[in-house]
Structure 1
Amino acid sequence: MAMGKSFNVVIFGESGVGKSSLINLLFNKDIAETSDAALGCTFESKLYRGDREGHSFNIYDTTGLNESEKGLVKPEVAVGNLMKLINSLTDGIHLLIMCMKKGRINNAVSNNYQLFYDGIFEASVPILLVVTQCELDDPIDSWKIHNQALLRSQFKMNFHDIICVTTLNKGKHASKFKEEYTLSREALGAAIAQHSLKQPWVIKNFMDFLMVLLKRIWNIIASYCSFQKLPLSNLIYSIFQKLGFSDREATDKANTLLDELKHNHMSIKIIDVDGTEEGSTE
């Protein structure tokens, strides 16, 4: 790999799928808390900054849509946080990473793909699927072999690559999977370098982009649920309404989100992998 590259990457997925463990795997350090409890409370996103093999990595950890109401971050908060995160990324994005646990392909997987890749980034940014908890599989990419065609044909999800990994590096069973852990770390780093855009995807005019984005999200919702397509001025309100809010609540939340987007109110916790800096930006 060429030296000195910089990669801005957004990692997303529902609560508990192993996003923090994936970040720890990438940097080979226990820097990310393996819990989504703090994300979405004080800080709406986290930025992990660090170097690996001569390259600079900026990893944005954000929440996705959860399959059930048990998720720690509600759908309307996840959508709002994501819009605000995009507004704050002045340096652009090179790659998306969607994270899921090995197992069945549930509605949350499909919904997050539609929201992030199709709805927000309009298939303009490459996307990887990283499947965690694959340490017992032989070969380790067995899940990919058995499910890649299904993802494309039944769920209409086309990933640039699927990486099956183990993030297990501590505990009484970790010693059994040292080789798999090393291979997982190498595969993840290589996939990021291979599939990242050469030039980052950047929004030139966020408010113009926001209007197009909201229409796109609404059209995705409408196509699945047979809702009527609405004038642009009603889109934000309608998205919140279809998430289950009353007319008054939908109006209040839509107005609040628009105001926050205009003023770029976004709390990002910055964590330096080398431990030399930790702070936040708003």
Structure 2
Amino acid sequence: MYKTALPAPNLRNYVALFWEGELAIGSNQAHTYHATATSKVELLFCYAGNYLTNNEKGDAVQVPAACFYGQASTCRRYTSTDTFNGIFGVRLYAHAIPLLFNIPATELTNQYVDISSLLNGRGHELAGEIFAAGSFEKRVTTISDFLQSQIQQRFATLTRFEAFVTSLHRLAQHTSVSELAGEVNLSQRQFERHFKYLTGFSAKTYFKIARFESLMETLCCPAGKVPQNLTGIALDLGYYDQSHLNRHFKEFTGLSPSGFLQLQEVGERLTS
């Protein structure tokens, strides 16, 4: 079971999507979630079951039941052997972290952090409210009210640069960094410093991942069917050729496009 909901208009500069997934598996089975590179932050609440991942040393560690999964330039796998798993997620644009919580986005880059570590007691309370909610709709309402209160507490208006960055996800194409810096009257060095604070990445890396995310949306077609013209898709998205696309795909997923589609066919879900 998988559900999604779009945020209210006043949250759309910060929240891309609310989602919830539930999965039942056999007692002798395991479910592996393959997380790919992403420009966004997931606020995750695992209200049933639990997942393990590997740390930098390769040791298996349990993922916190309520955590921020930061924007990432790498892939990671999460595995659960519980017979029932349920996760509620809030897909945030990375700039929501500094703008709503006064925390540099760079603190979450390629990291996952327990919600209480970032939001202290309020994070613990929020997790309890989400876990106690009896429905997806109630969870959406609870987290929406929390995020709206953060907007009211943090600021009345955005600076020109902040407003510019919050609109980036709506742009179909991106110009050079020097041109973007000129749009907000900053030197390229100033632009890069502020941009990394708000997104967790340099502008070059951010747009590279954003293009990859557009590719993933195209590849996630019904029934896991291979697109007939992958080279044409690559060119449309700004890749030099399919070889260029393949290199980025391997970098951000650890898989080839064909390997990714094979996982789709056997029911394993990969997301950006």
TM-score normalised over the length of structure 1: 0.29
Larger helix percent? 2
